[in-house]
Copies of this chain bind each other. A is one copy, B any other.
Amino acid sequence: MAEEAAVRAQAETVRRLKQDKADADEIAKEVAKLLEMKAQLGTEEGKHKFVLKTPKGTRDFGPKEMAIRERAFKAIISCFKRHGAEVIDTPVFELKETLTGKYGEDSKLIYDLKDQGGELLSLRYDLTVPFARYLAMNKITNIKRYHIAKVYRRDNPAMTRGRYREFYQCDFDIAGQFDPMIPDAECLKIVHEILSDLQLGDFVIKVNDRRILDGMFAVCGVPDSKFRTICSSVDKLDKVPWEEVRSEMVGEKGLSPEAADRIGEYVQLHGGLDVIEQLLQDPKLSQNKVAKEGLGDMKLLFEYLSLFGITGKISFDLSLARGLDYYTGVIFEAVLLQQENEHVEEPVSVGSVAGGGRYDGLVGMFDPKGRKVPCVGVSIGIERIFSILEQRLEASEEKIRTTETQVLVASAQKKLLEERLKLISELWDAGIKAEMLYKKNPKLLNQLQYCEDTGIPLVAIVGEQELKDGVVKLRIVATREEVNVRRESLVEEIRIRTSQC
C-alpha cells in the first residue's frame, strides 16, 4: 500500500514538473514580448516610483485615534483586572508548525515569514493558540490571564467596517479543571460588563454549544466526517440567508437534501431557557448523548447567568457555529444591534464585537503526552469598537485632548530662554507635566495660542519683573485670569488647579 502510494506520488510529481516546464516556456515567451515592448517605450529606470503608504489592510494610529483606543483599552483592562486576571505576552510570530492544523479552512489566511535561513515562522493568527502553546510549554494547568495584542490575517480588508489585516484582540481566558459552567458563565459576564461599560448601544450575546451542534448534525443524518465542514456552512448564517447555506451544503459539500432540511428546522430556533427545555424534550435530540450533555450544561449556564442578572441580553441560538476548529463546548458571539443615531447619517454596520468559547483539546495538541487542560475564553474585537467610538466622537464635536500637559512655561519678553529652561526643569523634576515652545524668543500670543490649540489649562509666565519679585505669573487659560504665585509655591498651586482635570 505504502509503496503503491509512493509510486503514485512520484508519478504525480513528474507530471507536475513537466507541466512546470511547459509553463516556464510560456513565461519565457511572455517575458521576451514584454521586454521588447519596454525597449520600444524607452527606459525610465532612474525614476523609481516610491509608494508612500502602509501595507494593505493596515493603518497608522495618530494621536487622536490613540486617545480613543486608550479609552477603550482602559475599560477592557479594568474589567479583566476586576475579574482577577493576570497578564501575559507572547512573541508576534510562532514556529509555523505551532499554528498548523488549528484553524481549519482559515489556515490559508496565515502570514508566513520569508525563509531567511533558520526556523520557519508565521505571524500569530489569534492569541488562543499561542496561549495553549504557552500553557503546554510551561506545564501550567491553572491560570486566568488576559492578553492584549495584535494578530494578523491575510483577509480581504473592509476597513470602513473595522476589518483589518492587522488588528488587536483583547483575550481573557480561564484554564483549569473546574466545576462545569462556572468559568464559562464568567466569560459571558465579562462580555456583558465591557459592552455595557463602553455604551455601544443595544447588543445581544448569542450562545450555543459545539456538542449540541454535533448532536444535531448526528440526528439530522450528517455523516461524522462532514461535521466540521457542515459546521462551517452553518457559521455563515449570520451573513447569508438559509437558502444559500443550504445549497452550499447540498451542492458543494454533498449533503443529502433531507439532512439539510432537518438542519434548517433546528437552526431557526433561538430564545432562552424555554428553547433549551423544548430541545431536552425533542424526541430525537434527547436520545443523542453529546447533545443531551450540551443541553444539560446549557441549562446550568442559564441558571448562573440569571444569578448574574444578565439573561436579558443572552440568546441561546442554534444557528451560531463559529468558524474555528478548536472549540469543544460552549461557544458565543456578541453582536451589536443596529441602532438609529440622529447624529450619524450612515450608521456603521458592525456585527460581531466579541466571541469565544470552550476549547478543552487545544493544549493537549501541544503536550508531548497529550495531557489536556480545559480552557474557556473570550476575545473582544476592538477594531470594530474603535470604528464606532471614532465615528461617534466625530459626530459629537467633543474636543479630545491628546496630551496631559498641565502648564506651558512661557515668557513675556525676549532673552528669557534660560529662565524658561530653568523653570521647566524645576517643574519636570517635581513631576509636573510641562511644555515650552522650542524658540529662543517666542511671542506671548503664539504661546497662548498653543495652549488654546492643545487644551493646556495653565501658563506659567516669567518676565523681568516677576524674576525680580521672586514670583511667576500663572494664567488660567479658560478664564484669562492671572495671579502672581511665589516661585516656591508654584508646583503646589499647579497641582491644586489641575487636580480636577
Contacts and interface: CB of A to CB of B under 8 A. Distances in A.
B3 A39 contact: yes
Interface residues of A, number: 113
A133 B178 contact: no
Contacts of A193: 428-429
Nearest to A152: B92
Interface of A is mostly: mixed
A9 B34 CA distance: 11
A158 interface: no
Interface string A113-130: 111101101010000000
Contact of A112 (B35, B116, B368, B434): B116
A70 to B, nearest CB: 8
A431 B197 CA distance: 11
Contacts of A121: 55
Rank and list the top 6 A-B pairs by shortest CB-CB distance, nearest first: A178-B438, A63-B86, A84-B435, A58-B91, A6-B39, A112-B114
A307 B418 contact: yes
A66 B54 contact: no
A445 interface: no
Interface of A: 2-3, 5-7, 9-10, 13-14, 17, 20-21, 24-25, 27-28, 31-32, 35-36, 38-39, 42-43, 50-56, 58-63, 66, 69-70, 81-95, 97, 111-116, 118-119, 121, 123, 133-134, 136-138, 143-145, 150, 152, 154, 166, 174, 176, 178-179, 182-183, 185-186, 189, 193, 304, 307-309, 366, 368, 402-405, 417-418, 421-422, 425, 428-429, 431-435, 438-440
Contacts of A56: 118-119
B60 A439 contact: no
Given A25-B17, A116-B154, A84 B434 contact: yes
A308 B425 contact: yes
Nearest to A110: B116
A111 B439 CA distance: 41
Contacts of A304: 421
Contacts of A115: 114
Given A82-B432, A403-B85, A112 B112 contact: no
Given A10-B36, A62-B138, A113-B123, 12 more contacts: A10-B35, A17-B28, A52-B133, A52-B368, A60-B89, A61-B88, A61-B90, A92-B150, A92-B152, A111-B114, A112-B113, A307-B418
Nearest to A1: B43
Contacts of A88: 60-63, 66
Given A31-B10, A84-B405, A428-B83, A91 B166 contact: yes
A179 to B, nearest CB: 5
B435 A39 contact: no
Contact of A309 (B54, B89, B309, B425): B425
Contact of A403 (B81, B118, B186, B438): B81
A164 to B, nearest CB: 9
A431 B36 CA distance: 72
A142 to B, nearest CB: 10
A176 to B, nearest CB: 7
